[in-house]
Structure formats: structure tokens, C-alpha cells
Amino acid sequence: MAWYRRSKLGFDAISSYFTSKLTSPKSTIRNSNQLSKLTCSAYYPLKVSKVSVDRSLNSRLYATSNRYYYVDSRQVRHFKPRGYRRWFDNPKNVFIAVLVGFGIGLTVYFGNVETIPYTKRRHLVLLSKNLERTIGESRFKNMKVGLKGKILHAMHPESVRVRLISKDIIEALQRGLKKEQGKNEVLNDMWVDQSREKGKEKGGKSATGHLEGLNWEVLIVNDHVVNAFCLPGGKIVVFTGLLEHFRTDEEIATIIGHEVAHAVARHAAEQITKNLWFTIGQLILYQFVMPDLVNTMSNLLLKLPFSRRMEIEADYIGLLLMASAGYDPRVAPKVFEKLGQVSGDSALRDYLSTHPSGKRRSKLLSEASVMHEAVAIYREAMVGREIDGFFL
């Protein structure tokens, strides 16, 4: 057993020697001072010297990976995107966008604003004249197809009568709209009055280009509906239900003059433009308010009032047209009052309808200043007719 213990001790000594040579690092401690410094390093951090990296190797490493930082002039690395994440975060971009938008808005406004004949009111119409005329002719064509069998023949007595009255109104309009007298006394409605005054101050020329070269057509429909209208492009439609209640030529001239006035003032195109702005405003308010409430309030406060104002304006223009055509304008107030009775007039129509009440329309047209202007035109037209008849 003694030889075994001796051989085991020798083997352990040899293996420990070789193991220490392979695994233990070279000791850098040579004296007690170095030992004390090493002991103190447990409490104080060691200073690490800068490691130099090959620039070519560094550039290759950066080239193969995405850089999520940028280096400023002081060689400081910023770990966030350079500049603004979105274009509208930059105040300069927002200012430029607002400036460009304002310029475009001014260009669109002054390029499409027009002055209405007679009332001198200025309004914005984005719909082109050709497109407006095309829409009116297309609707008229579809209407003739849909009402086939109800349209009276051109030689029917009622058709001939309405066509002759319409011809007088159209000829009065085609004489150049030269009966615009530019008086201060106009329809006693604040909106129309202020609009006309502003138009006169700016000296705007009345827009009549949409009335040039129109192919006027008159259609009489055999139906009990009490209605009449004039589509853009000079397409007049009258229902026999209206003729059953209004039998005299002056009464029919009042209705036709009113409908032609809508075409003169381009109310259909103006309504399309206003509906566009109303829709944009509603879409914005939908984000904050209930849609039903937005629709109701927009109708009561915007759409219906604008529609009633355009009807009042058409009443005034139609009054001057019928007077210029030689029809007594003093009949017009009674016509609109009667029309209100036929259609079921009520006080709520001044607030909840697209048309004003018959009493309100009659009252506005009966104003002394308005009627005086129309009667003066009527007398002048009648004198001209008598002179023509005398020489014939």
C-alpha cells in the first residue's frame, strides 16, 4: 500500500503543475504597493483606456446596419429621428400650407363670384355655366320621357296661351335687362337690401352670360299638381293644376316671371354651391355632435332660410320682368297670397318651409317703393306698345 500512496502523490503533483500553467493568468503583482492598489480597486472604479478601432472596420459595420441615430456638429449621437416626424409638426410647413390655402381660396372666390341682375347681390357660384345648362337640359329631357302622354300638344289652347305669355317674359329679359334702375328703394328685406347696396358700392357688373344663346322651351303638363318651375338652360314647365286656380294672363305672368327669375339669378347653381359648404361643415360637426342634431340645426338655421331668401329675391325680379313684359305688377301680391291659400298657408312656413308664407310675400311686394318701381316700368312698357301699335 505504501507504493500506491507514493505514486498517487506524485501523479497529483504533476497534474496540479500542468493545470496551473494552462489556466492561471500571469500575475502582475510584484510588490506590496501593487497589492494595496489592487485591494483599493474594490472600492474605487478602475480607469479604462480608450480602445482604438479600425476606421475602415467601423465604417463597414455601420454600412451593413441601419443607423438609428444621427451625429451633430459636436459629434454627439442623438438616438431619435432627425427633424419632425410629421410635416404638420413643423410650424414653418403649417404656415406655408395656410398661406397657400388662403391664396387658393381667394382665387376661387374672386374667380367665381357674380353679381345678380336687378338686385345687384353678389354670390359665389362654383358650378360652371356650361355644366349648369347641361344639367338643366338633361333633367328636362328625362322629364319629357317620364311625363310622356301627359304633355299637352303645342296647338292646345292652354299650351298656346302659356307659350305666348312666356314669350313676352323672355323677350322682356332679352331686351338687355336695361330696366335695372339702380334705386335705393328695393324689397324691404334686410338680406336683399344689404346685398344690393354692397353690390352697387363695388360697382359689380351684372352677370348675364348664362342667359345668352339659350334655347327656351315651354312644356305644359296635364296634371292636377299646382306647380311650375324653370330649369337652368331656359326650360319652363307648367302644370295644368296651376292653371285651374290662376286664369288671368297677369296671374300666369306673375308665376312664370317668378320662375324665370330663378334662372336669371342662377339660384339652382348657387344652391348646389351652398349645399357643398353645408356638407363639409356637417362632416366636421359629426365628429363632435350627434348627426341627427347637426342635420336638424343645419336645416333650420342655414338651408331653409337661404331657400326662403332666394324665393323673395325671385319674387322681386319676377315682378320687374312681368312689368317690363307689359303685365300689371299690381296683381302680383294677390297672386302670392292666393297661392299661399291654395298650398295650405300657415305662420310656420316662415320658419319650417323652403318658401315664405303667401302673406309675407304679398306684404313685401306691396311695399310702396317696390311697387312704385315696378309700376313705372309697366307704364313705360305700355307707352312703348301704344306707339308701336299707332305706327302699325
Q: 318, exposed or middle or buried, with CB in 10 Å at 0-12, 13-18, 19+?
A: buried
Identify the CA nearest to 380 among candidates 181, 165, 118, 162.
Answer: 181
Give the global pTM: 0.70
Cβ pair 242, 255 in contact under 8 A: yes
More reliable by pLDDT, 130 or 57: 130
Give me 361's grid cell.
310675400
Say if residue 388's pLDDT is above 80: no
pLDDT of amino acid 361: 93
Q: Is 154 helix (H, G, I), strand (E, B) or coil?
A: coil
Cβ pair 196, 127 in contact under 8 A: no
Cβ pair 207, 114 in contact under 8 A: yes
Question: Domain map of the chain by residue range?
Answer: 116-391
pLDDT of amino acid 17: 63
**Distance between first and last Cα of the chain:** 165
Secondary-structure percent of the chain, ordered helix, strand, coil, rounded to 5: 60, 5, 30
Say if residue 274's pLDDT is above 80: yes
CA dihedral 162, 329, 307, 179 (to 10 degrees): 100
More reliable by pLDDT, 363 or 208: 363
In this prediction, residues 49-69 reach a mean pLDDT of: 47
The per-residue pLDDT of the chain, averaged, comes to 79
* CA separation for the pair 242, 240 (Å, rounded): 5
pLDDT in tens, 249-263: 999 999 999 999 999
In this prediction, residues 269-283 reach a mean pLDDT of: 92
pLDDT of amino acid 259: 96
Q: Is 22 helix (H, G, I), strand (E, B) or coil?
A: helix
Which one of the listed residues 132, 259, 313, 373 is annotated catalytic? 259
Give me 122's grid cell.
353678389
pLDDT of amino acid 118: 84
Beta bridge partners of 221: 151, 239
Give me 150's grid cell.
301627359
Give me 200's grid cell.
352697387
pLDDT in tens, 186-204: 455 555 555 556 555 555 6
**Is 259 one of the catalytic residues?**
yes
Q: 283, exposed or middle or buried, with CB in 10 Å at 0-12, 13-18, 19+?
A: exposed
* CA separation for the pair 177, 211 (Å, rounded): 11
Q: Residue 93: pLDDT band by 50, 70, 90 thresholds?
A: confident
Residue 332 CA from chain centroid, whole number: 35
pLDDT in tens, 331-373: 999 999 999 999 887 778 888 899 999 999 999 999 888 899 8
Angle between helices 157-174 and 249-264 (to 10 degrees): 50
pLDDT of amino acid 360: 92
Cβ pair 304, 352 in contact under 8 A: yes
